[in-house]
Amino acid sequence: MPLNEHGLTELISLLQKKDITPLEIATDLLSAVNDKDKVLHAYLEVYGDELLDVAGRITRDGSFCEKPLCGVPIAVKDNICVEGKKTTCGSRILEDYESPYHATAIEKLIASGAIISGKTNLDEFAMGSSTENSAFGPTRNPWDLERAPGGSSGGSAAAVAAGIAPAALGSDTGGSIRQPAGFCGVVGMKPTYGTVSRYGLVAFASSFDQIGPIAKSVEDCALVLSVITGGDRKDATSTHSLTRDFTRSLEKGLEGLTVGIPKDFLKKNMDAEVEQNFDELLNLLRSHNVPIMDVSLPHSGYAVACYYIIANAEASANLARYDGVRYGYRAAEYDTLDDMYARTRGEGFGEEVQRRILLGTYVLSAGYYDAYYLKAQMVRSLIIRDFESAFEACDLLMMPTSPTPAFKLGEKVADPLLMYLSDIFTVPANLAGLPAISIPSGLSGGGLPLGIQLIGPPCKDETVLAAAYGLEREIGFDRKPNVRS
Amino acid sequence: MGKYEAIIGLEVHAQLLTKSKMFCACSTEFGGAPNTQVCPVCLGLPGALPVVNEKAVEYAVRMGLATNSKIAKNSVFARKNYFYPDCPKNYQISQYDTPLCSDGALYVGGRRIGIARIHLEEDAGKLIHCEDDNCSLVDMNRCGVPLVEVVSEPDIRTPEEASEYLQKLRSILRYLEICDGNMEEGSLRCDVNVSVRQEGSEWFGTRTEIKNLNSFKAVEQALHYEIGRQERILLEGGRVEHETLLWDSETGEARIMRSKEEAHDYRYFPEPDLLVLEVPGALMKRAKSAIPELPDAKEDRFVRDYNLPRYDAQVLTGSREIAGYFEAVEKALGDPKQASNWIMGEVLRELNERKIDISKFSVSAEDLADLIALQKSGKINMPTAKEIFREMVGTGGRAEKIIASKGLEQISNEKEIEQIVLKVLDAYPDEVSSYHAGKVKLLAFFIGQVMRETRGRTDPQKTASILKAVLEERR
């Protein structure tokens, strides 16, 4: 088996035994990228030279296991800043922009001995659910090249699924880690809001954005999350609790946990295949005597609407800085200052980004603020309260990650509302800032992976991971896509 | 038709004297080479996040406490959205519906001027327009420097009162040591809102806003200009438009910057990158303990304890440093009125002429007290004392030394004066004859000659009486 078919934990254990070296992993990864990524387009940039340099150096001096990640390569979504490297956010407007600094999560990864393998593709500014909104072309799903890998962290999910990155960082604003993880048959975790510093994550919607891991297993996710977690003086919204080792309590599994099912919310929104898979999982849990109960999330029907108002409002301000004045793309010809702004942004941003900026600007405008933004914030409070009362009765919620398996490229781009609804099961956790994970739960009739999502109360990331670890073992999903170049 | 009255409100921006910027660690120092005091945060680079400077919060709380404002336990930062090249994020982090301080006041000439709110925000960068007018450069050093915006209630009624209010505000900011109040360098900036209405009326007229007022004089001039303009419009039966005007102090006119139609919709919303701003008890305590005796209290004390006229007390307490200087002189001298006269006259004139601050003044309070004491004792006369003072300002020397080295001691010895008088009269026999013939006004001439002879060191009264006596003898 090629080295990169292994997960992070396995690689580290092989490295610790000196059975393999970082240089072998790096070489193997680059050859796999060479093989597969021409068709997949998971990477926007591969740091081939640096990867070989660093891996070579630590292989030669034998220092590679002095740090926990032992020189394993990790891919990074291209909306997270790496010093001296392009951070395009999948946008023309930042096509040539190089970040002068590392994101905090990147500093932590490097300090823990990881090597950044490159930047992965994404929907422009993380706005989308299919990676088709990338200005640099879509990523293909390794399970079916005609299908979308999901989004917006589609590049990271596809890279991990195809074995061209042992693990990757993504960002999740409304499901952008979990949905592509589900579509690609890998594990993706969105931690509690504030767990991972957002410093250096290019903002889409600040009160939702969270960096998280995408990997081959729950244990791998727990390992990466342990490294990147922790309060950061540079991010006022990060939580200053102690850095936790999320791998420690995985063995607890589902023991002693009650799982809540928001049946009413799910019924209306799942397609038949997803529902069937979900019922099988419930039976699996019952057969292992895991207590299951119905819970109610009465306001979750408004979650998508509420999310698209608040997230776009924040985005309209967050993306205002891309104006052609100081960095990034500037229109070649213009008359006045206003004309320069208009042309730069009209030419530099893609259609979906412009749509969201317009929507966000509208809901904040005088005369509309109360009816939209303020009302949506109230609904957000109600949704948070829904979760609070649900978690009084159960420890975790379980629901499908997405209402359907991976859809075809081009299938939903013409209908933004249809696209937005593919986030219906993921946005509630972002609205409430909750920890949520997606793990593979089987294959559809068409051979596409399905994902199941576990959501926990705030700061119970450890419980969510442990439960997912237990469920992962019970499901025993071991299929891999076969990417033919 | 009755008289018109003006309704005036001021919005004052004051740069806080923190070492670092509002939301990052960059230096706030003025005058650095362009774009040398910047980082990803104040440049608004992708992925950078703001973090609140606690010192700036403490300074703003000081201002709130000094103006008897309510300090909000929880206040909210908000994004004010507008596109301009000196604003790198194209939104300014400010405060909107929940400011840090509200409902305060200060007093001007005994009148209460309400302060609606005091909030924290970040300054913008500076645009430099090139001479060939086909390019503009931007310097981001100032970008992110902390500001407090102090918004008055529309309680001000005249341009003069507006200027006095601004002076009082500046004085308080400087007493608190939170802003240097330098209007030329732009660390204190003022916009005014003004409308006019018929005296006694209850309704408010349409107001205009005037920006770019960077001196007390500009505030007064612009208000006179705008009040006159609005009155003329109303007298002619016209309607004042809600506009934003830009004051040009060169021409003494205001021109339209934005019409009502062009008014911005700033789309304020809570800043999601920052938590609700809490004022911890410890910070409140620090702010409280950092508040010194303020101008009004000091003025009252100067009147009460030093028996100074109200006007003297007001001038002396306009600056905390001047007030301190006065108290030091008074302490060494024991004569408040003399100390006040010298400081309000000679010292303030020197400071104004040299455009320096009292802290940079070369004459120490003790040395000034010595000088005044020498004059009071009669050792030197007043003109000489003033001459010595100028010498002290120039060289930083002490009065006694200057007197000794230049031989400026007053000649009070009558024998000595008589010798000089005799010499002068011998030199002007014709004038002496005229005097004796009844032209007594010539006495002043003789005094002048004696003074000339002694370079002003003789006691003028003694000189006059000796002159008269000798002239009588010679009759």
Asked whether residue A108 carries a pLDDT value surpassing 70, the answer given is yes
Residue-level pLDDT at A485: 60
Residue-level pLDDT at B348: 95
Residue-level pLDDT at A35: 94
pLDDT band, very low/low/confident/very high, at A414 (cuts 50, 70, 90): confident
Residue-level pLDDT at B2: 63
Averaged pLDDT, B372-380: 87
Interface test with A, best of B128, B273, B275, B277 (most A CBs within 10 A): B273
Contact B82, B266 (CB under 8 A): yes
Averaged pLDDT, B117-129: 96
What is the residue whose two structure tokens read 């006369």?
Answer: B381
3-state secondary structure chain B: CCCEEEEEEEEEEEECCCCECCCCCCECCCCCCCCCCCCCCCCCCCCCCCCCCHHHHHHHHHHHHHCCCEECCEECEEEEECCCCCCCCCEEEEECCCCCEEEEEEEECCEEEEEEEEEEEECCCEEEECCCCCCEEEECCCCCCEEEEEEECCCECCHHHHHHHHHHHHHHHHHCCCCCCCCCCCCEEEEEEEEEEECCCCCCCCCEEEEEECCHHHHHHHHHHHHHHHHHHHHCCCCCCCCEEEEECCCCEEEEEECCCCCCCCCCEECCCCCCEECCHHHHHHHHHCCCCCHHHHHHHHHHHHCCCHHHHHHHHCCHHHHHHHHHHHHHHCCHHHHHHHHHHHHHHHHHHHCCCHHHCCCCHHHHHHHHHHHHCCCCCHHHHHHHHHHHHHHCCCHHHHHHHHCCCCECCHHHHHHHHHHHHHHCHHHHHHHHCCCCCHHHHHHHHHHHHCCCCECHHHHHHHHHHHHHHHC
A100/B45 CB distance under 8 A: yes
Residue-level pLDDT at B417: 85
B263: contact with A, CB 8 A cutoff: no
Using a CB-CB cut-off of 8 Å, the residues of chain A touching B91 are 317, 320
Asked whether residue A224 carries a pLDDT value surpassing 80, the answer given is yes
A206/B272 CB distance under 8 A: yes
B134: contact with A, CB 8 A cutoff: no
Give B70 to chain A, closest Cα distance, Å.
25
Averaged pLDDT, B120-148: 92
Q: How many whole angstroms from its chain centre is CA A69?
A: 20
Averaged pLDDT, A76-84: 98
Chains A & B: contacts with CB separation below 8 Å: 98
Asked whether residue A306 carries a pLDDT value surpassing 90, the answer given is yes
Averaged pLDDT, B262-277: 95
Asked whether residue A65 carries a pLDDT value surpassing 80, the answer given is yes
What number does CATH give the domain A3-259+399-413+435-475?
Answer: 3.90.1300.10
pLDDT in tens, A128-175: 999 999 999 999 999 999 999 999 999 999 999 999 999 999 999 999
- Torsion-angle region of A442 (φ positive above 0: left; ψ -120 to 50: alpha; else: beta): left
3-state secondary structure B424-452: HHHHCHHHHHHHHCCCCCHHHHHHHHHHH
A341/B83 CB distance under 8 A: yes
Name the least confident of B116-125, B166-175, B195-204, B255-264: B255-264
Residue-level pLDDT at A5: 82
Asked whether residue B363 carries a pLDDT value surpassing 90, the answer given is yes
- For chain A, give the mean pLDDT: 96
Using a CB-CB cut-off of 8 Å, the residues of chain A touching B267 are 316-317, 361, 364-366, 369
From residue A354, alpha-carbon distances to A144, A320, B33 in Å are 30, 11, 37
A374: contact with B, CB 8 A cutoff: no
Radius of gyration of chain A (CA): 21
Alpha helices in A174-217, H assignment, sequence order: 178-184
Residue-level pLDDT at A265: 92
Tell me the catalytic residues of A. 77, 152, 176
Residue-level pLDDT at B264: 87
pLDDT in tens, B338-360: 999 999 999 999 999 998 889 89
B44: contact with A, CB 8 A cutoff: yes
Using a CB-CB cut-off of 8 Å, the residues of chain A touching B85 are 323, 325, 337
What is the residue whose two structure tokens read 């009624």?
Answer: B157
Using a CB-CB cut-off of 8 Å, the residues of chain B touching A373 are 269
pLDDT in tens, B225-266: 999 999 999 999 999 999 999 999 899 999 999 888 788 899
Percent of chain B topping pLDDT 70: 99
The CA distance from A464 to B188, in Å, is: 54
More confident residue, A351 or B443: A351
Q: How many whole angstroms from its chain centre is CA B175?
A: 11
pLDDT in tens, A3-56: 778 999 999 999 999 999 999 999 999 999 999 999 999 999 999 999 999 999
- For chain B, give the mean pLDDT: 93
Neighbours of A362 (CB within 10 A): 17
Averaged pLDDT, A231-256: 91
Residue-level pLDDT at B201: 87
B303: contact with A, CB 8 A cutoff: no
Query: Pick from B395, B454, B462, B401: which is nearest to B423 by CA?
Result: B454
Percent of chain A topping pLDDT 70: 99
Asked whether residue A243 carries a pLDDT value surpassing 70, the answer given is no
CB under 8 Å to A382, separation ≥6 — which residues? A299
Percent of chain B topping pLDDT 90: 71
Domain-by-domain residue ranges, chain B? 4-288, 293-406, 414-474
Which of A234, A323, A365 is opposite residue B83, by nearest beta carbon? Answer: A323
Using a CB-CB cut-off of 8 Å, the residues of chain A touching B44 are 321, 326
Interface test with B, best of A321, A327, A362, A365 (most B CBs within 10 A): A321
State both tokens at A66: 């002095």
> Looking at this predicted complex, what is its ipTM?
0.96
State both tokens at B422: 């005799």
Contact A483, A162 (CB under 8 A): yes
Q: Residue A80 carries which DSSP code?
A: B
B20: contact with A, CB 8 A cutoff: no
A337: contact with B, CB 8 A cutoff: yes
Contact B22, B13 (CB under 8 A): no
Q: Strand, helix or coil at A64?
A: helix
pLDDT in tens, A425-482: 999 999 999 999 999 999 999 999 999 999 999 999 999 999 999 999 999 999 999 8
Name the least confident of A444-448, B189-193, B394-398: B394-398
Residue-level pLDDT at A163: 95
Percent of chain A topping pLDDT 90: 94
CB under 8 Å to B109, separation ≥6 — which residues? B161, B164
B54: contact with A, CB 8 A cutoff: no
Burial (CB count within 10 angstroms: exposed 0-12, middle 13-18, buried 19+), residue A49: exposed
Residue-level pLDDT at A1: 61
Q: Strand, helix or coil at A443?
A: strand
Q: Which fold has domain B414-474?
A: Arc Repressor Mutant, subunit A (1.10.10)
